[in-house]
A = this chain, B = another copy of it.
Amino acid sequence: MTLAEQLLSGNRLALTRMLTQVENNTSEGRAALTELFPHTGAAHLIGVTGAPGTGKSSLVNQLALHFRKQEERRVAIVAVDPSSPFTGGAVLGDRVRMRDLAGDPGVFIRSMASRGSLGGLAQATAGLVQVFDAAGYDTIMIETVGAGQAEVEIARLAHTTLVIEAPGLGDDIQAIKAGILEIADILVVNKADRPGVENTLKALRSALELAHPVRHVFQHHGKLEIIEAPDETIYNSWIPPIQKTVATEGTGISELANEIARHAEHLRESGDWAARERNRLGAELDALLQEKLVAHFREQVPESRYEAVLDQVFQRELAPWEAVKVLLNGRSE
């Protein structure tokens, strides 16, 4: 039996081995991914992102417990930490989590710290998700630390994206919301028992109005005459709900799970599920193409030649754009 066949037969050791192969981008891992690919596409992928200090990990734990206990789903968690490119900060997260979820074979948690480029990280995450998908995990949560571009790129992997906020996280938060809101399918205000929660809710509602002016106006006032873009499709689209939670006490978790289910239903009914799948696979295809093109190039240009050209750039004899031309022309020599 191949590694992929063992995994499909439910072998947990094969799953673990394959995750490692895929994370390390080995040829064995790639072969197995290719073999598994026809068995993917069933899982609901949930992205969870938000600034540090919002309590994302606790929330993801609580959601996992809920999906296990109330819905008997098999749950995988991929915790991605793009801000720890050098040290294994993510490992600590695993240990903290074990107390709640350890011993349940229906839950699998995998942490991944970044190494090297962001592109590599997104690609490895896509691979891990495919492995869990093929292995029969119904719900796969992709949790990222931070709220930057890295998270946006990783959020593109998900069907449903949760953006987590919390009261009182400082001044810059406002600026972040503007961008991050647009990737949010569901907004969560965690730590909702803290002071300042009303301000956070108010700020989020204002930001939502800016991000979805037409839909928001329609929802709250019902005045058709102030709708700016009278496109029929607008009334079918999704308005990101705001859900309050206190993850450490389990408050709001089942309501949040309901919103997640409602969003999945919306995606399937509107056809957006398929559209997101196609975008996701397109992004993965592009990343692989890029990797392969660069690898081809590296094979064709000797390292010594590359270094010599870089030296000319360093000496300011060649501008970077000129250096690219020199290297590309040199390929066929």
A33 at interface (Cβ–Cβ under 8 A)? Answer: yes
In the bound complex, CA of A45 to CA of B56 (Å): 35
A185 at interface (Cβ–Cβ under 8 A)? Answer: no
A127 to chain B, nearest CB (A): 9
B-side contacts of A38, CB under 8 Å: 316-317, 319
| A contact residues, range | 35 or more
- CB pair B175–A316 under 8 Å, yes or no, is no
Binding-face segment, A78-86, A213-221, A222-230, A257-265: A78-86
In the bound complex, CA of A148 to CA of B151 (Å): 9
In the bound complex, CA of A175 to CA of B88 (Å): 9
B-side contacts of A82, CB under 8 Å: 148-150
A13 to chain B, nearest CB (A): 23
Known contacts A293-B294, A297-B293; decide if A180 and B321 are in contact (CB<8 Å): no
Binding-face segment, A98-106, A198-206, A284-292: A284-292
Chain A contact surface mostly: helix
A93 at interface (Cβ–Cβ under 8 A)? Answer: yes
In the bound complex, CA of A93 to CA of B148 (Å): 17
B-side contacts of A234, CB under 8 Å: none
A219 to chain B, nearest CB (A): 21
Contact with B along A289-317 (1 / 0, CB 8 A): 11011101100000000000110011011
- CB pair A146–B148 under 8 Å, yes or no, is yes
Interface residues of A (CB under 8 A from B): 30, 33-35, 37-38, 40-41, 51-57, 81-87, 89-90, 92-93, 113-114, 117-119, 121, 145-153, 166, 169-173, 175-176, 178-180, 182, 211, 274, 277-278, 281-282, 284-285, 288-290, 292-294, 296-297, 309-310, 313-314, 316-317, 319-324, 327-328
B-side contacts of A281, CB under 8 Å: 310, 313-314, 320
A295 to chain B, nearest CB (A): 10
In the bound complex, CA of A175 to CA of B178 (Å): 25
Interchain residue pairs A-B with the least CB separation, the first 5? A53-B170, A52-B172, A84-B179, A82-B149, A37-B319
- CB pair B320–A83 under 8 Å, yes or no, is no
Contacting residue for A319 out of B34, B53, B92, CB 8 A: B34
A-B contact pairs, 20 of them (CB 8 A): A30-B321, A40-B316, A51-B51, A52-B169, A52-B176, A53-B170, A55-B171, A83-B147, A83-B148, A85-B149, A86-B179, A87-B182, A118-B150, A121-B149, A148-B150, A169-B169, A281-B314, A285-B320, A288-B323, A292-B324
